[in-house]
Amino acid sequence: MRNEIYNYEQIMLGKSKIYSSKLFYKNLKEKGSLKSNNDVALSIIKYALEDLLEWTPEDIYYRLNQKVMEKLKLNSLLNYINYPIELDKKKDYFYIACLLYPKKFKVDLKKIALFTYKEVVNGTNKKMPKGFFVGEDGKCRAIICLNYILSLKKSFTSIEDYYDFFASRQSNVFIKEMRLKQAQDTHYSTVLDYGHDALDDENKNNFLYTYHKVKNLL
């Protein structure tokens, strides 16, 4: 029997109170490879839900909640599972099903990022989740959010009009008002750089970008 499943059954039988530290941090060797903390935690959760509760993937997606996780003594395992920044481990349990059955349940990270951004712009939430604009994923979120708010708030008559706007002081005010200043500061030295990078390759105009870049420097 796999070490993690044996440890879990000992907990359910009351013979152990916590998961063994040997399961995590050091990870488990299995057929010459190492299982990550994420994989170890998911294997225990999958065993509990599929083998003990006899739940289907659909059951897990729609029915899994905090009470079930607590009853099965699985809540502490969430600390080892990689969640998108936008999701809350304390309530978005559907994501467990997405991790266990990636071919069956797809998560649209673009939609999740936009949902989070909209809540901030609309005032539902005061600020972005910590690390929302950090790293390559954060840069993708920055571009997704900018393109969304531009489609909602701006209408450009031409590509020249687009670059004129992002080279102007007005664009700095717009970025601040639309709560994207943090995104710009994290990845770009100027708003012009941000606007240029947000365009797809077909619409990028390197001549206009360079022209405004040099003009602003002078």
Q: What is the pLDDT of residues 45-98, one digit of tens each?
A: 999 999 999 999 999 999 999 999 999 999 999 998 989 888 889 889 999 999
Is 90 exceeded by the pLDDT of residue 32?
no
- The confidence band for 127, taking pLDDT boundaries of 50, 70 and 90, is confident
Is 60 exceeded by the pLDDT of residue 1?
no
- The confidence band for 27, taking pLDDT boundaries of 50, 70 and 90, is low
- The confidence band for 29, taking pLDDT boundaries of 50, 70 and 90, is low
Over the chain, what is the mean pLDDT?
A: 91
Report the pLDDT value the prediction gives residue 101, as an integer from 0 to 100.
Answer: 96
Is 90 exceeded by the pLDDT of residue 203?
yes
Report the pLDDT value the prediction gives residue 125, as an integer from 0 to 100.
Answer: 82
Nearest CA among 120, 37, 31, 116 for reference residue 82? 37
Report the pLDDT value the prediction gives residue 216, as an integer from 0 to 100.
Answer: 83
Task: Flag whether the pTM goes above 0.75.
Answer: no
Nearest CA among 92, 70, 72 for reference residue 83? 92
Which residue stretches of 13-108 are H helix? Answer: 37-46, 57-63, 66-71, 94-100
Buried b (16+ CB within 10 A) or exposed e, 122-144: eeeeeebeeebbeeeebbebbbb
Report the pLDDT value the prediction gives residue 33, as an integer from 0 to 100.
Answer: 52
Report the pLDDT value the prediction gives residue 3, as an integer from 0 to 100.
Answer: 83
Report the pLDDT value the prediction gives residue 24, as an integer from 0 to 100.
Answer: 77
* CA terminus-to-terminus distance, the chain: 70
- The confidence band for 36, taking pLDDT boundaries of 50, 70 and 90, is confident
Tens digits of residue pLDDT in 128-180: 888 999 999 999 999 999 999 999 999 999 999 999 999 999 999 999 999 99
Report the pLDDT value the prediction gives residue 189, as an integer from 0 to 100.
Answer: 96
Report the pLDDT value the prediction gives residue 217, as an integer from 0 to 100.
Answer: 82
- The confidence band for 109, taking pLDDT boundaries of 50, 70 and 90, is confident
